[in-house]
Structures are given as structure tokens and as C-alpha cells.
Amino acid sequence: MAEKKDNREVVLRLSDITMQFGGVVAVDNLNLDVHKNEIVGLIGPNGAGKTTAFNCITGVYEPTNGAVEINGEVVIENYPQGKMKDAYKGKNQGKYTKALTMLPDKVTKLGVARTFQNIRLFKGMTVLENVMVAMHMNQSESVFGATFRSKKAREEEKTMREEAMELLKKVDLYENRNDMATSLPYGKQRHLEIARALATHPSILLLDEPAAGMNPQESDDLMKFIGRIRDEFDLSILMIEHHMQVIMGICEHIYVLNYGGQIADGTPEEIQANSAVIEAYLGGDE
């Protein structure tokens, strides 16, 4: 594995992350770094454990072993306990001794926002409301004040609305702000998911197959868009993607998973030349 040299600070670090469901190891000893303002790609064939890795970072799953560091602080850590102690099939058992868990909303509050592989917009709400939901966590008025429309609540609602509008303008959805989220065309729904994630004021953005289902023209636009928001919002981005065009076009560093295990990492050029990766994609047996 190629040693990675980067002087920027590490904002997200996965150490020995292993996720085992019953007897199946979905993610096997994943080590990954995302540096400040870096765009990192996570690729691998279907079922390689990419989304599971995302779920471990965002607190949806508790990893079976390993730790997640966000901005230099360990926020998630676990080791095989209980029944898993004997059933554990991964590496580095015993290396971790703490059990730190974090719910997804807390992870989001730490500045890690995500999108979903199968779009998960709020169906019963308008585009604008979808974005405003993501700002809810940053408002400070109590439910009582909000219900009875205290001065603070009105001000906060107003700022929220203005900010959401602003954001929608940036992602070209301003015209659609009052449409139902599900009535948007597919590509715009993807944009909205990203806009919604941005509304949580993240420093790290996790994109799960943002270009899925897009044609070359659309994915090209998306690529530019991702680059633009990275600069505009000062983001570090970790993305899962199957469109190699996109991955190779914008990622500075790429990690490759297969059957849960990490088979390679490096710059796009290195990955393209890596024989293990080619084998994984072409299928070694055939």
C-alpha cells in the first residue's frame, strides 16, 4: 500500500474499522484518512462494504472493532464484546478497549453531513422545508417559544428561511423552492440532498453515490458542482462512487474496498495501475 504524504491536517480518520454482522464481515479493518479540503474517493464493487463504512462513521451502525476520529478527537470506538468476543473474525482484536458510541444526529452536529445512496428526501415536504429541517438543529428556541412565536423564534425562523433560500440559489433550486421534494426530476433530487446536507453547516461531507443514475453530461456537471461547493463551503469530502469518470476526475486520493477488505489506496494514477484493483473489478476467477 502506498504511503500517503499530505501535510494538511487530518479531519476524519478511520482506524481498523471492522463491521461484522453475525458471521459476515462487511467491513474488514478499514483505515482511511481524509485531510482538510481533500476530496477522497471510496470505490469497490457492489457489496464491498462502502455504505456500511459510511454508516459506521455516521453512527448508524456501531462498528464491531476500531475507532473513528473526527477533527483529531476519537468520537466512536468499539471492540468485540459479549457474544461477538468469540465470534469475531476480524483483525486487531484487543487493540481497542473503549466503547464510545454516538448517535447520527450528534455526528452531524460535529460537522459531518451525508447524503444517501437511495435518495432519502422528506417526501411530504417542499424543497425549502427539506433544507430548513437541516437547519433545525442550529436554532436555539425552545418548543414552547417556537409554538407561541416568541420574538426569538420569529427571528430565527426568518434567518433560517433566508439562509435556506440563499443555499437553494447556490444549487440552482431556487425556482423549485415551493415544489414538493419528490416532484423534482432525479438529478435535482440529488442536488437537493447535497443542499440539505450543506444546510447542517458541515466541515466534512460524505456523498454516497451522488452520480448514480446520471448520464455523462450530468455527471460532468456534478463533478464541477462538487468541486465548487468544496471551495465555497470549505469542505473536506469523502465520496462513494461507481462512475470512474467522476472519481478519477475530482478525487485526490482513492481507497478501494473488496469483500469488506481494503485492497489498495493511492492517487488516481496509482489506483489505475494497481493490479489488485483491476483483478477485483474484472473478477480474478474468470
Query: Residue 227 interacts with other proteins (CB under 8 A)?
Result: no
105 belongs to the binding site for other proteins (CB under 8 A)? yes
Among 31, 21, 22, CA closest to 66: 31
122 phi/psi in degrees, rounded to 5 = -80, 110
147 binds other proteins (CB under 8 A): yes
Q: Are strands 253-258 and 39-43 parallel, antiparallel or unpaired?
A: parallel
> Minimum distance between the CB of residue 83 and other proteins, rounded to whole angstroms?
11
Distances (CA, A) of 86 to 16, 24, 25, 77, 80: 18, 14, 14, 19, 8
C-alpha cell at 123: 417526501
Residue 106 to residue 188: CA distance in whole angstroms: 28
Question: Per rule CB under 8 A, is residue 137 in the interface with other proteins?
Answer: yes
Which member of 141, 218, 220, 270 binds other proteins (CB under 8 A)?
A: 141
- Give dist(CA 118, CA 178) in Å, integer: 23
- Cell triple for 252: 485526490
Query: In the set 10, 133, 165, 276, which binds other proteins (CB under 8 A)?
Result: 133
Nearest approach, Cβ of 99 to other proteins (angstroms)?
19
Residue with smaller CB distance to other proteins, 54 or 79 = 54
36-65 residues in contact with other proteins (CB under 8 A) are 45-46, 51, 55, 58, 60
Q: Indicate the burial class of 284 (C-beta count within 10 angstroms; 0-12, 13-18, 19 or more).
A: exposed
Binding range to other proteins, per CB under 8 A, among 7-15, 30-38, 141-149, 232-240:
141-149
Return residues touching other proteins (CB under 8 A).
21, 45-46, 51, 55, 58, 60, 103-105, 108-109, 113-114, 116, 120-125, 129, 132-134, 136-139, 141, 143, 146-149, 153, 156-157, 160, 196-197, 199-200, 242-245, 248-249, 268-269, 272, 281-283
